[in-house]
Homo-oligomer: A and B are copies of this chain.
Amino acid sequence: MNALGTHLLLELKQCNPHHLDDLDYIKDAMVGAAQAVGAQIIGQSFHRFNPQGITGVLAIAESHLSIHTWPEYGYAAADIFTCGTSFQPKDAAQLIIDKLESKDPSMQIIRRGIEAPAPVTSS
């Protein structure tokens, strides 16, 4: 049973709350993780909200990474969606976990595009 994409959903609890509200730190964590595993970044958007919290999305040639942080809860939700086998998403996940100093990380792996229908033929 083939899947077209692998989607890691990271629940990062008990992170260092200072990191979670630091725009440059979060950007470095996500861009750094993508670069370290060899992903090709093709677009990015990072924002800090008032009074707190950061959202970041990173389009990569292999799909995307995203993060949303709640400094007030020491919590971040990060996603790594990959297609192909050019890098191991778990390697990027571990880098993000380490960088955010999460003491209670968990990960859900969802395979996307399973049991794809037969290829479309042009009419």
Tell me whether B120 and A74 are in contact (CB under 8 A). Answer: yes
Question: Which residues of the other chain, B, contact A17 by a CB distance below 8 angstroms?
Answer: 120
Query: How many residues of chain A get a CB closer than 8 Å to chain B's CBs?
Result: 45
Docked Cα-Cα span, A14 to B56, in Å, equals: 31
Question: Which residues of the other chain, B, contact A4 by a CB distance below 8 angstroms?
Answer: 70, 73, 75, 77
Partner pick for A66 among B14, B66, B71, CB 8 A cutoff = B66
Give residues in A with beta carbon < 8 Å to B. 4-5, 7, 9, 11, 13-14, 17, 42-47, 49, 55-61, 63-64, 66, 68, 70-75, 77, 79, 81, 83, 104, 108, 110, 112-113, 116-117, 119-120
CB distance from A120 to the nearest CB of B (A): 5
